[in-house]
């Protein structure tokens, strides 16, 4: 893999801390204090940037409750689906270099990946369909436990199995598409497929392409698909009861029609395939740096026009079911089209996503605001009182 890019230029990117206190800091503190004292969340880190400077940064609770270890200032968390934005930006960097295009059929790069519909049709799936979750795919945890993904043994990327990425995608290609590509929106394994496309285009492992085009240029040393066993990573918990329970491998958590199966040890398994959808770990500060690089125009890893496309609705009026009313979808993130319909005070054009280990972020370009909230508690850290209250606190009168 050989790329000549503006990596050296981008590597200088770093966030500075604001000289004056942020007027929303007290409101953020109140949300965090309530969240930890009520035992909704075991441990968390919240960091926010306003107008290009860090205005808030706080860690609270336990990184490992049973060991009595408090969350460290640079705690590493399992990012889960916050990985998707990083992988989509990697794909866009390849597109910017002319190595691939949004209109490329996936089969051009992955000849074996040709799933069909239930009625026997074999439609063309494009890179655009993958990045916008309109390819007709889904996740195993979103189907009933006797569904085709389960019968075929398709991995959602969270377990600690021994499949290769190609083996997993061959199984996925054997399952029928849920709908004709481009006609609906469905959260899915599409970004895992995109990861394989990236590997084929760059002729390199996904983790190496991400490192070359995104994390190294921005100096994001903590963000990776696996880490050495000596690395301290936040212990994950599940809020199936209060206080939340510690996760172990093959921990099952009911979700939608099915269940999410977590294997926390995957973060230390360098042999596990790199899941483009859910596979990365990292710190809140590094992820904020990534978001701010995008919010401010790409910082050398992408041109501003491509960043704008990434964070603009790309699916028309299709309904983004998981995000809820008022949302569209860009080339890797949910995009707020109608704040009133969503019941939010964030501005139109804000973009966000979250992860099933209990993580979330949002970027409000109009307010020049980016916020990352990483927790070690599923699902409440992703979708519940805490992220909702935190977002309200950023805009309260």
Catalytic residue numbers?
81
Q: Name the residue among 268, 242, 239 with its Cα closest to residue 251.
A: 239
C-beta separation of 383 from 110 below 8 A? no
| Separation CA 197–CA 200 (nearest Å) | 5
Q: Name the residue among 386, 327, 303 with its Cα closest to residue 31.
A: 386
| Separation CA 265–CA 160 (nearest Å) | 7
List the structure tokens of 56.
């808030």
The pairing of strands 53-64 and 16-17 is: parallel
| Separation CA 228–CA 234 (nearest Å) | 14
β partners of residue 362 = 352, 371
User: How many CA atoms lie within 13 Å of 343's alpha carbon, on the beta-carbon side?
Assistant: 5
Q: What is the DSSP letter of 56?
A: E
């Amino acid at each position: 893999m050989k790329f000549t890019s503006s990596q050296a230029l981008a590597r200088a990117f770093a966030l500075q801390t604001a000289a004056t206190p942020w007027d929303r800091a007290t409101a953020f503190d109140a949300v965090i204090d309530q969240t930890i004292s009520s035992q909704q969340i075991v441990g968390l880190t919240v960091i926010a940037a306003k107008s290009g400077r860090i205005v808030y940064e706080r860690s609270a609770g336990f990184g490992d409750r049973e060991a009595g270890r408090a969350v460290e200032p640079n705690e590493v968390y399992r990012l889960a689906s916050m990985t998707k934005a990083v992988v989509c930006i990697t794909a866009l960097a390849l597109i910017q270099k002319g190595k691939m295009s949004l209109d490329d059929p996936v089969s051009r790069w992955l000849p074996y990946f040709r799933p069909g519909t239930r009625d026997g049709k074999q439609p063309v799936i494009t890179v655009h369909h993958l990045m916008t979750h309109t390819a007709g795919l889904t996740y195993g945890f979103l189907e009933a436990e006797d569904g085709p993904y389960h019968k075929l043994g398709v991995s959602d990327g969270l377990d600690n199995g021994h499949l290769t990425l190609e083996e997993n995608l061959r199984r996925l290609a054997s399952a029928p598409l849920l709908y004709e590509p481009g006609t609906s929106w469905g959260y899915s394994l599409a970004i895992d497929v995109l990861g394989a496309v990236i590997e084929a285009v760059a002729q390199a492992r996904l983790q190496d392409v991400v490192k070359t085009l995104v994390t190294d240029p921005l100096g994001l040393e903590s963000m990776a698909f696996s880490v050495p066993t000596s690395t301290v990573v936040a212990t994950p918990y599940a809020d199936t009861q209060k206080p939340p329970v510690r996760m172990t491998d093959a921990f099952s958590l009911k979700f939608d029609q099915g269940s999410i199966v977590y294997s926390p040890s995957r973060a230390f398994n360098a042999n596990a395939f790199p899941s483009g959808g859910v596979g990365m770990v990292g710190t809140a500060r590094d992820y904020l740096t990534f978001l701010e690089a995008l919010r401010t125009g790409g910082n050398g890893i992408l041109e501003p026009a491509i960043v704008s496309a990434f964070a603009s609705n790309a699916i028309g009026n299709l309904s983004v079911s998981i995000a809820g009313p008022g949302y569209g979808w860009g080339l890797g993130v949910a995009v707020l089209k109608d704040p009133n319909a969503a019941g939010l005070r964030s501005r139109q054009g804000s973009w966000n996503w979250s992860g099933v280990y209990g993580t979330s972020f949002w970027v409000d370009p109009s307010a020049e605001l980016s916020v990352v909230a990483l927790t070690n508690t599923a699902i409440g850290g992703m979708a519940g009182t805490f992220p909702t209250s935190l977002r309200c606190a950023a805009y309260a009168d």
